[in-house]
Amino acid sequence: GESVGLHLPTLSVQEGDNSIINCAYSNSASDYFIWYKQESGKGPQFIIDIRSNMDKRQGQRVTVLLNKTVKHLSLQIAATQPGDSAVYFCAEIFKAAGNKLTFGGGTRVLVKP
């Protein structure tokens, strides 16, 4: 498959601390990157996106960093809250291949009270 999630990595973080979730993407020519959050029993929910011509974008409590040199994407969550407990996925879109969309394997975030 295009996205292997056989062993879902888990990040355990104390409430109030900052979280950093990492993602290695596959295509150096991808144009657009998205972070999704998926809570138990729900579909993925858009968090933040970034275009390939940017290296940083900030939202509310979240920041996405893009390092094209090493094909690495990260999501930083400030002051992590219990409601942030979920599985986080990165996704890349390669427009030249007809908007080919590929998801990363996901990271589970557990927030400890």
Partner 1 sequence: KAGVTQTPRYLIKTRGQQVTLSCSPISGHRSVSWYQQTPGQGLQFLFEYFSETQRNKGNFPGRFSGRQFSNSRSEMNVSTLELGDSALYLCASSPSSLETQYFGPGTRLLVL
- CA-based nearest residue to 111, from 65, 61, 67, 66: 61
Q: Using CB under 8 A, which residues numbered 68 to 107 contact partner 1?
A: 89, 91, 93, 98-106
Q: How many CA atoms lie within 13 A of 86 on its CB side?
A: 20
- Of the candidates 49, 50, 58, 63, the one whose C-alpha atom is nearest the C-alpha of residue 21 is 63
Restricting to residues 11-40, name those near partner 1 by CB under 8 A: 32, 34, 36
Cβ at position 76, least distance to partner 1 in Å:
21
Q: Residue 101, CB half-sphere, CA atoms under 13 Å: how many?
A: 5
Q: Would you give the binding string for partner 1 spanning residues 44-63, x where CB under 8 A is met?
A: xxx--x--------------
Please report, as ranges, the residues that interact with partner 1 according to CB under 8 A. 1-6, 8, 32, 34, 36, 41-46, 49, 89, 91, 93, 98-106
